[in-house]
Copies of this chain bind each other. A is one copy, B any other.
Amino acid sequence: MLSTHALDFFTTLLGKENVYSDKAHLIAYSYDATRERFEPEAVLFPRHEQDVSDILKYCNEHKIVIVPRGAGSGFTGGALPANGGIVLAFEKHMNKILEIDMQNMVAVVQPGVVNMELQRAVEEVGLFYPPDPASQEYSTIGGNVNENAGGMRAAKYGITKDYVMAIRAVLPNGDIIKAGKKTIKDVAGYNIAGILIASEGTLAVTTEVTLKLLSKPKMTKTAMGIFPTVHSAMEAVYKTMASGVTPVAMEFLDNLTIRAVEQTYHKGLPVEAGAILVTDVDGNLEEDLDFQLDVIGRVFRENGCSDFHIAQNKQEASDLWFARRNASQSLSVYGSKKLNEDVTVPRSALPALLDQFYKIADKYNIKIPCFGHTGDGNVHTNVMVDGKDPEQVKIGYKAIEEVFQATIDLGGTLSGEHGIGLAKAPYMGMAFTPEEMALFQSIKRAFDPNNILNPSKMGLE
């Protein structure tokens, strides 16, 4: 437990309204989206960067563990205080959009800013922040940067790391550093921002992020295609993108997912189809959108698409997106417990990956419905089991291990979006060699020699 000395130090520094150590609050900050629970010993709300520096300096001297936390919406336990210690939370004070700079098209924000709040603010002035994780309504930029969040628009617009121009951060010893600038080009010094992205709060505490913005595309259109097989759908995806058309989103549902949505919502979906693709295109010109949709329609039909439909208005677009939007919650028809992963392969390997998944499902007599982002090879893989049957749950986890192995064998990654945290830490040895793990560990040590910052995450000490 935290010493009285430590609590006194934090209370004097921050004021008692910014130090929580009562049971109710400790419970409130003990969980994230994984449903695992670990109680911190205190929750601190720094008012500004200097507070973060003072807290870290103290904790480093006294070897007190610090876990930075965004919205607690992570799927892998990155923000859980698995070793106790202090949770550092940014939602009270360090949650401001500091600047939207029109001339340089960048935003400067504090870590506690909610993704969607930023999206809305920049769109009001005609700009655009593309990364749109499913958690966008509540997850924060600090969390997005530390997990390198993706989203639907990744196929065209990339992911969080493609928008981070600079990070201000506090090192475990309290040193304040700035990495990067408001410039597109900067090749002076090591690319510290590059390594802080996706580091899951294990190397430094982010205090400010400078993000690249784009000009907001003036229009978006939606289309849908029905394919006999996943293979034919994927063939259409490659050929579309090689034809010079990069859709904003290119999402798929496999046959099992289509059936689940139909069984739940009765929308008249084609339950014999191998796959449905739903796609958005955007741009500034009607002619450009029509050109993109012409190419997509032609390529889709050349690859076996039996039904290609372009939404004529917003309502139709929303209808076309209905199945994809409601995919996840429909899957309970296959089991009460969903073990969902976000494995990612090079997009060409997607059909082979799904073949492997269905083989694993057959072997264990369970269902593994899949949907997700064909444009970038990111598959939401759902191992469905009966949550009340411990034997089934055990089988589910065995299947997950095989899902990971199949992914890695096809050149893929354990996680496209959710990170490693605690949940996937046991699988790091499947994905990385001992030499690579040793390198991670030595980088961790270089930043954090006393290992006070979010220890035990990512398979590290």
Contact = CB atoms under 8 A, between A and B. Distances in A.
Given A187-B419, A189-B436, A194-B195, A181 B346 contact: yes
A439 B442 CA distance: 13
Nearest to A193: B194
Most buried by B among A215, A246, A420, A445: A215
A150 interface: yes
A184 interface: yes
Contact of A287 (B199, B214, B287): B287
Nearest to A243: B215
Given A155-B184, A181-B413, A183-B345, A216 B244 contact: yes
Contacts of A147: 187
A102 B431 contact: no
A34 B419 CA distance: 43
A242 interface: yes
A190 B415 contact: no
B190 A433 contact: no
Interface in A391-435: 411-420, 424, 428, 431-433, 435
Contacts of A218: 244
A104 B179 CA distance: 31
B411 A148 contact: no
Given A242-B215, A285-B291, A416 B162 contact: no
B184 A191 contact: no
A184 B104 contact: no
Oligomeric state, in copies: 2
Contact of A186 (B127, B175, B178, B344): B344
Given A189-B420, A198-B191, A346-B183, A102 B238 contact: yes
B187 A195 contact: no
A259 interface: no
Contacts of A101: 346, 348
A344 to B, nearest CB: 5
A343 to B, nearest CB: 10
Interface in A159-193: 159, 161-162, 171, 175-179, 181-193
Contacts of A440: 189-190, 192
Contacts of A214: 246
A47 to B, nearest CB: 22
Interface string A208-251: 00000011111000000000000000000010011111100000
Interface in A78-120: 101-106
Contacts of A161: 191, 194
Nearest to A342: B185
Nearest to A154: B184
A406 to B, nearest CB: 15
Contacts of A244: 126, 215-218, 284
29 contacts: A102-B242, A103-B238, A103-B346, A104-B346, A105-B241, A105-B242, A106-B346, A147-B187, A150-B187, A154-B184, A159-B184, A171-B439, A176-B435, A177-B433, A177-B436, A177-B439, A181-B412, A183-B411, A185-B373, A186-B344, A189-B420, A189-B432, A189-B440, A190-B195, A190-B198, A190-B440, A192-B439, A192-B440, A217-B244
Interface of A: 101-106, 126-127, 147-148, 150, 154-155, 158-159, 161-162, 171, 175-179, 181-195, 197-199, 203, 214-218, 238, 241-246, 283-285, 287-288, 291, 344-348, 373, 375-378, 411-420, 424, 428, 431-433, 435-436, 438-440, 442-443, 445-447, 458
